[in-house]
């Protein structure tokens, strides 16, 4: 299973007000393992950046001088995410911006939903933790994911952090399968049986010593005397010991 964890940074909050994407970061997962493949681009938005957005990501308009436009990298991006499931936190936000950028391209209109499946980790977190804070920072704290480098938002950094959070949130049986090796994980993904090597060393057996046996039989006698009988007293030695103790 191929998944792309994706994040964007933008000039503002509303694509309907002509706000644009200024950074895209993607991290590839295959069968729940990071492959090391990433896609990361800064983009010239061809417009100013809102002060509120600048305070979040710290990317100024001057930082983007000379960077490509979305149209210049669109084909490469679409090739990278093709046929994958996109994993996005608050997916509606990023997908709306991506759809707006795609709508500006010449040719046949395209939308992210028609190209990829989309998994919203914010919606997933709200199902798992109703009534709690489910921002990316809150999830990092809940799942003990290190986000100490996140003083400002950054698309690739946030995508890497989200990948760790997503794997922690959805660990369960998949994480167990990974612990027995990649072959077992692949078999589980395909619904096949998982074969685990049997233990070859014999299990150690520790026998009770005489003092322990005597203490055990004395306790059985106490139980027998208090309850009027013990159904599990089936051995002659235990029965004899209880009878003797009960007569005291």
Catalytic residues: 153
Helices (H), 82-209: 91-103, 112-115, 121-128, 136-143, 155-169, 172-178, 182-189
Estimate the crossing angle of helix 136-143 against helix 155-169, to 10 degrees. Answer: 50
Let me know: does 12 contact 25? Beta carbons within 8 Å: no
Which residues have C-beta within 8 Å of that of residue 231, sequence separation ≥ 6? none
Rounded CA-CA distance 125/165 in Å is 10
User: How far apart are the C-alpha atoms of 238 and 248, rounded to whole Å?
Assistant: 16
Query: C-alpha distances in angstroms, 110 versus 94, 102, 142?
Result: 15, 6, 37
Angle at 75 between CA 94 and CA 116, to 5 degrees: 50
CA 42, 45, 46, 51 dihedral sign is: negative
* Residue 198, SS3 per DSSP: coil
Strands 85-88 and 2-10 turn out to be: parallel
Q: What is the Cα–Cα distance from 55 to 126, expressed in whole angstroms?
A: 27
Q: Is 194 helix (H, G, I), strand (E, B) or coil?
A: coil
């Amino acid at each position: 299973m191929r998944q792309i964890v994706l994040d964007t940074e933008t000039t503002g909050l509303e694509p309907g007000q002509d706000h644009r994407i200024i950074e895209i970061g993607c991290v590839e997962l295959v069968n729940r393992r990071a492959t090391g493949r990433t896609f990361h681009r800064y983009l010239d938005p061809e417009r100013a950046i809102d002060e509120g957005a600048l305070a979040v990501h710290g990317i100024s308009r001057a930082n983007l001088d000379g960077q490509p436009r979305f149209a210049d990298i669109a084909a490469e991006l679409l090739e990278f995410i093709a046929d994958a499931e996109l994993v996005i936190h608050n997916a509606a936000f990023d997908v709306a911006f991506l759809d707006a950028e795609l709508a500006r391209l010449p040719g046949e209109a395209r939308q992210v939903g028609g190209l990829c499946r989309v998994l919203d980790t914010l919606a997933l977190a709200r199902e798992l933790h109703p009534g709690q804070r489910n921002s990316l920072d809150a999830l990092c704290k809940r799942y003990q994911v290190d986000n100490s480098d996140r003083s400002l938002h950054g698309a690739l950094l946030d995508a890497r952090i989200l990948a760790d959070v997503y794997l922690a949130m959805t660990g369960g049986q998949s994480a167990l399968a990974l612990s027995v090796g990649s072959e077992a994980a692949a078999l589980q993904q395909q619904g096949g049986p998982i074969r685990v090597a049997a233990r070859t060393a014999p299990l150690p057996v520790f026998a009770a010593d005489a003092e322990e046996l005597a203490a055990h039989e004395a306790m059985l006698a106490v139980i027998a005397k208090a309850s009027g009988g013990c159904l599990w007293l089936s051995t002659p030695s235990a029965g004899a010991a209880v009878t003797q103790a009960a007569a005291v």
